[in-house]
Structure 1
């Protein structure tokens, strides 16, 4: 692995934190396709870090750098304690979730509901910064419920930046905390890219990245050309990782674009080590199902892994059979 990319380099493109998806196996797989993009953990709550099994929650492979830990919470003391614990894991960034609209998150008074409490968010990030050796960043929405984003978002960014945050990832949709499911909150509220662009103009010294509705590298390039500092891509990077991540390093002027078949082969040692430690094949291959999306043999690849990887004894021979289906169809 080459020298570790810096956090500044990683801002141009990042893969969103996604619950049940962006675990350490997913991130290792994604890193084989892009050396530069920032990868985010699934959200981990501050109480879980404090009281839970820390290695299981925080461990990752050194190959995953640059990598950000996303924390959830609304108690400054708990967030500070969790940030202090995470120092020993040497993440490149600590991110506070101020964007998730799920009922479970709301009941804990964190996530998107914190858009209504900018003073509390400022207290939280100040406490985190006091315990962090790396940048503390915020991922937020443009507003929630009946808030007027063009009024509340500039105030939110101003208050939180004065507490020390220099980097915001803004999901360019409101979140409706009542009446819409998390899935609907990713799709129904209209996107307002223009507002995020205005935030960048109003706060030129801050790093402003945009999230929401971006599905291709071409879209990411267009948004960067408008003056935004970075683009975060979520589900498209998971479901069609080759299209989004292979070739992404060209954003940094680098020619790193491995063939998807080579990516599968590069996963072999990692999978073998996982199996040797008692792991199951499907724990890794479930993240690889979309690798050949839109390419000949994709359906057979998905079927072979979906039907066989969870069976007892499934191993690298099954992965090789699935890959043979792709090569035969090419």
Structure 2
């Protein structure tokens, strides 16, 4: 068997999720099939890529080498395909794009967005990329490697100010807390931040002032967080599942076996924006894409009974209706 890019994607997904089972769910394949594929990849490379135990998987030295190369090769190949598509579109004389590249710092919205884009235009080809860093996605937008970027920013952070980019805020959402089901506060309709003063905390990485805003919110409640573990989403979930920490999370987040609980008085807010290059061929479709993004976010919220119920009594949050945009139906 020869090593292919799809094999590198498998290895990268397993490494990022920290578990073959979680990676199988993310890739949409059965766990035994993914395990068999990983075994074939390891035989091709001549050694084990991961050490496995009851806590998940950890890369071996060979695994670290392969993962490091994959992190270089996969984005490079994606960029090559995107640039080739744009040149092909330009050569056809500026026709309406048949292909869109979309980056998101909130990966949860990608699935409903892809579904809604398919309803908007059945023949549209969509490529997506996810990154926790809004700055990274803004850079790809500036470099014309993305048609649209969906980014999340702390309410205290201004919209990116790079020249030539247009930004629209499509939703303002509170930050909730993720708890184990057996946590003493898990059954509450909302929890005050100071009630978790003795907890260790976990949060995904973020640009801007989010971690400073969290520290300030705790200071207003007259306590200092014991610890703040900054980690990828899968690791944050593991920390909560193990009872090691509670996690700051997006309001629409749902994780089987865990409980999402609102924080009283909304100490932290998260703004979701969509941006595009004003001079790009895709800009003429910005209205349709923005409306579709809003509908995808609505789909995401409707799947969360906790957030949907919370919004009924907290006006001003959720989707920010723009009078210049007609929402998708």
Give me the TM-score of the superposition, normalised by structure 2.
0.23
User: Which structure has more strand as a fraction of its residues?
Assistant: 2
TM-score, scaled to structure 1: 0.23
Structure of larger gyration radius = 2
Higher helix share: 1
RCO (CA 8 Å, sep 6+): is it higher in 1 or 2?
Answer: 2
